[in-house]
Chains A and B, each alone.
Chain A
């Protein structure tokens, strides 16, 4: 894994034409549309140049020559050209909208698909917000450039060249003035855009910081209130808002200066053109019609020239966006599916000399030489102190992470040789921190088995003591999760358990799934689970003796490796470290004695 999140957005990945070019295949299906867009835009430039020339002919013909004849035909030509221009614009935009939107949608689809394939190792390094901004902001930047920027980059350069040519041809001294005016505009625009991009990024970053503070203020509100720290966080927020205010003002000042210059330069050119042009007309070197056409044409150049700056910025933005998206596309999933399928799985799970280290800390192994054998139908409790590596060990079985040494086998087949979907059908996990999605309770439950019948769901709910789900306001159709009904920690855990049970796995992994339940409920769940685990191979992370009793044997994990395997009472009697972890305290036992006597 080489990709890491860009913590510093100012730096960013190296952007280049290259990145954009690599995404060109998304445009390929829309080649026809692109051709139409280019064609209509070019024709549009022609029309835009033609209209002032008609004006000139009209002024110099009928008006100066006192000849009424050509007025009507010329007027009609102007009318036809005007209509033609509108039609061309319509055609271009119509074609463009479906093409670029289809492209954007396709890219988002692929990005999402790729992200779903990328393993936990990748996701643990990227915040979902960073991924989201790639799927929204960055894709829009590319869409804008593909539909608009790219086209007008070509068109505008062409238009500027052509018009300047026409102007030089008409009356070269004035043409030179126009060409001279264009130079500072282009120079200024590019310079401005560079500075603007920098300050915009800074504004964006600071807005992001502010949003983070707003988020913390909202999500952490109970902690903030508990400690009476509202004033502190408010001040922190205000400091950040003040900073944003200042940076935003820099941005305002910069763009104020730029837009002003942008208007001043063409107007100054008008001043010069008017002066020289009027003299030209006075001395007969220029017709009045030519002067009017000249000024009209020249003003028609203001936008194409000025927009070069922001089109270039748009290109820059699109290139950065493309690079950011490629960062994700270029990350190869390092967990790839095998090909094997176990026809009749029995559930013989074996850890053989398993090592694991996180990719960003390869020198600090989390697991070392773990060996464990779970016979079909057997349940093993994993017991160990906080941070001893229990959770990561369970995550290795469904290949949320891959081992960095040794291997894990199911029925003798290395899990890496198994077809990934198949493996994850064999193994189901109930996580300690249950993830519920903002969907109906039913959808959340049937995550691992979409075709589960109502009877199956009922059974799973009963096992997990999660019958409350049926009593939600809209029953199982009630939306839960972030954007729905709020559930307590215990309720969430029971739903997650029901979800895992419903998947009817060959290997069931319970990662301390019962920690938030009260004693009474826990007891009921355990009784029901005992039935399920009777026929299923189980790996149960346990913090409590009661949970350990679900298991046939116990594996004690210390410092990333399994040090003892045996029965609960056996380990309790012979291993002090185990006693330390699981035995109730001495005075608990005294209380026990006291209560019994």
Chain B
């Protein structure tokens, strides 16, 4: 079956198609070229030296068959004539020197070029990682983490591949081709021309292979990606797979993508099956023709045995690099595509840029003000049409409203995950856009449902926001949250590793760790976005008790659909379609008996039953 309807349709298909097009480009165009030049700039001198070394190496290497010829043609006759070994010794001595020179140059070249390559890779990695860190969450939302990861793994690997094998191979191959051709003509013009008759054939077959293999290479990459995605998802979601007896259908899909991958690979392998013997055929025919013609000419005394021997040795060398040249094309192409994508990422400007002249805020008090704030994710569909709100320092404010009312957007604006389209957001009277992100993050911390834990120990994770915190501080935070007991019950307590995105910790336990992380960071403004939704009631109660103490003297924005969390708020605002429709102390709003909050409260009380 080749039906792929199960995949469904998605916007990323368009992005992927664009990336495929980029992959089809053959040169280092625009972005990738500039990036490459930039990366190479510090090594200008080193590169020149490298070129010199390569030249020396190749001259030495190419001279050896010629010296063999000299050995046969000028070394042997004196021995036959009068037992004079000197000319032979001289030639052998030169061969020895050439051999050692070549070895030395080669060694030098490999190490030097390897060093430059590794330095460049390091620089690429460093830049790309840092740049991803700088780019705004808005970018990450649309770019998806999968793509961020593959930029830093498979794309960097493609460049690595080119630097490691491709470059050396190409340079050596090119020099060998040119050098050998020159030497053949130098040794004997007529025989050389006959030998070089293979040139057009070689060119044709290499060109054909290059084009075809480029195509099939791309197809293979696409197919293997399908296999990988399906494989990883079915193993990652094995619980749902088994619970819903998805296995047969999954197997069908795997068989399908597996078969597609096989077919694509087969095309690629068969191309090689034509190409390699093709080169061999051209090479062998050339050697046979050279033997025939050379033999004929040698019979007539027009060439020596030594020349014939040198020809045979050179021709061997001549055909060897063809494979490497054509292979290099794939390496080159994927490296070029990779560089292109990386250059694209590096060109991306963060939508929340760092201020040019930052103002520094020491010891924020935590007064938060939204001043005519407008915001929309999609043009023409404003989420916040113009919001004015002041949260005095130390106030605990609860945001209530239906899904899509703009509560989370408000939180994301306050943490500067996004910048408003209009209006200003001020912390202690300073526009958030004038603060460095580090400065802002010290003051404002958000806890969301998405309680990502990093690999490392529980303790590392809690310390994430304040690495210098002592163990006592950590425990104070967890005790306040009632998380200390479950952590101590883990096999290694605070030193238990949270493997693989949280491992065996339950959603609620991960949430508690995320809370502890936020409390320990001790920000002036704490934003909780549905942060207690996966806690059970006792844990939530503990968290709320802790919140009472933790939030004292701190500004807090709490978004929750469980009104229990709202109980600890000094003030509630109810939002709808990006506007504040009610604003007041919770008791007052409830006492009114008429408003939206009062209704919600009623519904909530019913749900407690």
Q: A59-B308, A75-B292, A81-B284 are in contact. Are A591 and B590 (CB under 8 A)?
A: yes
Q: A260-B106, A292-B309, A400-B242 are in contact. Are A515 and B534 (CB under 8 A)?
A: yes
Check B62 for interface membership: any CB of A closer than 8 A.
no
Q: Is A62 touching B76 in the complex (CB atoms < 8 A)?
A: no
Name A85's contact: one of B6, B249, B259, B284 (CB within 8 Å).
Answer: B284
Check B240 for interface membership: any CB of A closer than 8 A.
yes
CB contacts under 8 Å to A, within B209-229, are 224, 227-229
Residue of A nearest to B590 (CB): A595
Check A32 for interface membership: any CB of B closer than 8 A.
no
Q: Is A520 touching B402 in the complex (CB atoms < 8 A)?
A: yes
Complex CA distance for A486 and B287, rounded to whole angstroms: 63
Q: Is A386 touching B508 in the complex (CB atoms < 8 A)?
A: yes
CB neighbours (8 Å) of A87 from chain B are 277
Contact flags B75-95 to A (C-beta < 8 A → 1, else 0) = 110111001010011011001
Q: A233-B133, A473-B11 are in contact. Are A136 and B228 (CB under 8 A)?
A: yes
Residue of A nearest to B448 (CB): A222
Q: Is B8 touching A440 in the complex (CB atoms < 8 A)?
A: yes
Check A97 for interface membership: any CB of B closer than 8 A.
yes
CB neighbours (8 Å) of B110 from chain A are 252, 255-256, 259-260
Check B118 for interface membership: any CB of A closer than 8 A.
yes
Which of B454, B501, B508 neighbours the largest number of chain A CB atoms within 10 Å of its CB? B454
CB neighbours (8 Å) of A288 from chain B are 72, 76, 305
Q: Is A241 touching B126 in the complex (CB atoms < 8 A)?
A: yes
Check A212 for interface membership: any CB of B closer than 8 A.
yes
Q: Is B6 touching A439 in the complex (CB atoms < 8 A)?
A: yes
CB neighbours (8 Å) of B126 from chain A are 234, 237-238, 241
CB contacts under 8 Å to A, within B273-308, are 273-274, 276-278, 280-281, 283-285, 287-289, 291-292, 295-296, 298-299, 305, 308
Complex CA distance for A17 and B11, rounded to whole angstroms: 48
Q: Is A271 touching B106 in the complex (CB atoms < 8 A)?
A: no
Contact flags B541-574 to A (C-beta < 8 A → 1, else 0) = 1000000000000000000011110010000000
CB neighbours (8 Å) of B289 from chain A are 75, 79
Q: Is A245 touching B121 in the complex (CB atoms < 8 A)?
A: yes
CB neighbours (8 Å) of A425 from chain B are 245
Name B449's contact: one of A90, A245, A489 (CB within 8 Å).
Answer: A489
Query: Smallest CB–CB gap between A64 and chain B, Å?
Result: 8
Name B454's contact: one of A220, A225, A479, A580 (CB within 8 Å).
Answer: A220
Q: A83-B285, A109-B254, A131-B231 are in contact. Are A431 and B240 (CB under 8 A)?
A: yes
Name B133's contact: one of A234, A241, A263, A385 (CB within 8 Å).
Answer: A234
Q: Is A252 touching B538 in the complex (CB atoms < 8 A)?
A: no
Q: Is A520 touching B603 in the complex (CB atoms < 8 A)?
A: yes
Check A481 for interface membership: any CB of B closer than 8 A.
yes
Residue of A nearest to B247 (CB): A116
Check A295 for interface membership: any CB of B closer than 8 A.
yes
Q: Is B607 touching A263 in the complex (CB atoms < 8 A)?
A: no
Query: Smallest CB–CB gap between B346 and chain A, Å?
Result: 15
Check B107 for interface membership: any CB of A closer than 8 A.
yes
Complex CA distance for A439 and B249, rounded to whole angstroms: 13
B interface residue count range (under 10 / 10 to 19 / 20 to 34 / 35 or more): 35 or more
Complex CA distance for A486 and B99, rounded to whole angstroms: 62
Q: Which of A65-73, A319-327, A407-415 contacts B (4 or more CB under 8 A)?
A: A65-73
Q: A233-B133, A291-B72, A391-B506 are in contact. Are A428 and B449 (CB under 8 A)?
A: no
Check B7 for interface membership: any CB of A closer than 8 A.
yes
CB neighbours (8 Å) of B72 from chain A are 278, 281, 288, 291-292
Q: A55-B312, A519-B603 are in contact. Are A499 and B590 (CB under 8 A)?
A: no
Which of B92, B240, B500, B538 neighbours the largest number of chain A CB atoms within 10 Å of its CB? B240
Q: Is A131 touching B235 in the complex (CB atoms < 8 A)?
A: yes
Q: Which of A20-28, A528-536, A544-552 contacts B (4 or more CB under 8 A)?
A: A544-552
Complex CA distance for A423 and B488, rounded to whole angstroms: 38
Complex CA distance for A75 and B455, rounded to whole angstroms: 69
Check B358 for interface membership: any CB of A closer than 8 A.
no
Complex CA distance for A54 and B403, rounded to whole angstroms: 86
Check A417 for interface membership: any CB of B closer than 8 A.
no
Query: Smallest CB–CB gap between B319 and chain A, Å?
Result: 11
Name A431's contact: one of B64, B231, B239, B504 (CB within 8 Å).
Answer: B239
Name B146's contact: one of A249, A483, A488, A592 (CB within 8 Å).
Answer: A483
Query: Smallest CB–CB gap between B245 and chain A, Å?
Result: 5
Check B608 for interface membership: any CB of A closer than 8 A.
yes
Q: Is B295 touching A581 in the complex (CB atoms < 8 A)?
A: no
Complex CA distance for A225 and B590, rounded to whole angstroms: 37
CB contacts under 8 Å to A, within B428-448, are 437-438, 440-442, 445-448
Interface size on A (CB < 8 Å)? Answer: 187
Q: Is A544 touching B229 in the complex (CB atoms < 8 A)?
A: no
Check B2 for interface membership: any CB of A closer than 8 A.
no
Check A359 for interface membership: any CB of B closer than 8 A.
no
Complex CA distance for A222 and B517, rounded to whole angstroms: 14
Query: Smallest CB–CB gap between A184 and chain B, Å?
Result: 14
Q: Is A595 touching B605 in the complex (CB atoms < 8 A)?
A: yes
Residue of B nearest to A126 (CB): B235
Q: Is B106 touching A252 in the complex (CB atoms < 8 A)?
A: no
CB contacts under 8 Å to B, within A211-249, are 211-212, 214-234, 237-238, 241-242, 244-245, 248-249
Q: Is A228 touching B438 in the complex (CB atoms < 8 A)?
A: yes
Complex CA distance for A215 and B85, rounded to whole angstroms: 69
CB neighbours (8 Å) of A191 from chain B are none
CB neighbours (8 Å) of A63 from chain B are 295, 298-299, 305, 308
Q: A216-B455, A499-B244 are in contact. Are A86 and B609 (CB under 8 A)?
A: no
CB neighbours (8 Å) of A109 from chain B are 251, 254-255, 258
Residue of A nearest to B534 (CB): A515
Complex CA distance for A283 and B534, rounded to whole angstroms: 95
Q: Is A440 touching B281 in the complex (CB atoms < 8 A)?
A: no
Q: A102-B262, A248-B118 are in contact. Are A66 and B299 (CB under 8 A)?
A: yes
Check A375 for interface membership: any CB of B closer than 8 A.
no
Q: Which of A168-176, A309-317, A582-590 contacts B (4 or more CB under 8 A)?
A: A582-590
Query: Smallest CB–CB gap between B204 and chain A, Å?
Result: 16
CB neighbours (8 Å) of B238 from chain A are 115-116, 120, 123
Residue of A nearest to B401 (CB): A518
Complex CA distance for A120 and B262, rounded to whole angstroms: 30
Query: Smallest CB–CB gap between A540 and chain B, Å?
Result: 14
Contact flags A534-569 to B (C-beta < 8 A → 1, else 0) = 000000000111100100000000000000000010
CB contacts under 8 Å to B, within A262-290, are 263-264, 267-268, 270-271, 274-275, 278-279, 281-284, 288-289
Check A345 for interface membership: any CB of B closer than 8 A.
no
Residue of B nearest to A78 (CB): B288
Q: Is A116 touching B299 in the complex (CB atoms < 8 A)?
A: no
Check A498 for interface membership: any CB of B closer than 8 A.
no
Q: Is B464 touching A229 in the complex (CB atoms < 8 A)?
A: yes
Contact flags B352-394 to A (C-beta < 8 A → 1, else 0) = 0000000000000000000000000000000000000000000
Query: Smallest CB–CB gap between B455 and chain A, Å?
Result: 6
Q: A93-B273, A102-B262, A545-B608 are in contact. Are A74 and B295 (CB under 8 A)?
A: yes
Residue of B nearest to A252 (CB): B114
CB neighbours (8 Å) of A431 from chain B are 239-240, 243
CB neighbours (8 Å) of A159 from chain B are none
Q: Is A519 touching B134 in the complex (CB atoms < 8 A)?
A: no
Residue of A nearest to B126 (CB): A238
Q: Is A132 touching B231 in the complex (CB atoms < 8 A)?
A: yes
CB neighbours (8 Å) of B535 from chain A are 386, 543
Name B280's contact: one of A85, A104, A291, A516 (CB within 8 Å).
Answer: A85
Complex CA distance for A131 and B238, rounded to whole angstroms: 12
Check A4 for interface membership: any CB of B closer than 8 A.
no
Complex CA distance for A288 and B133, rounded to whole angstroms: 70
Query: Smallest CB–CB gap between B270 and chain A, Å?
Result: 6
4 smallest beta-carbon distances between A and B, as pairs: A228-B441, A82-B284, A282-B79, A440-B8
A-B contacts, 21 listed (Cβ < 8 Å)? A51-B287, A59-B295, A82-B281, A109-B254, A128-B235, A132-B228, A211-B152, A218-B145, A219-B452, A230-B130, A263-B103, A271-B92, A274-B68, A274-B75, A400-B242, A437-B234, A440-B6, A515-B533, A546-B609, A588-B605, A588-B608
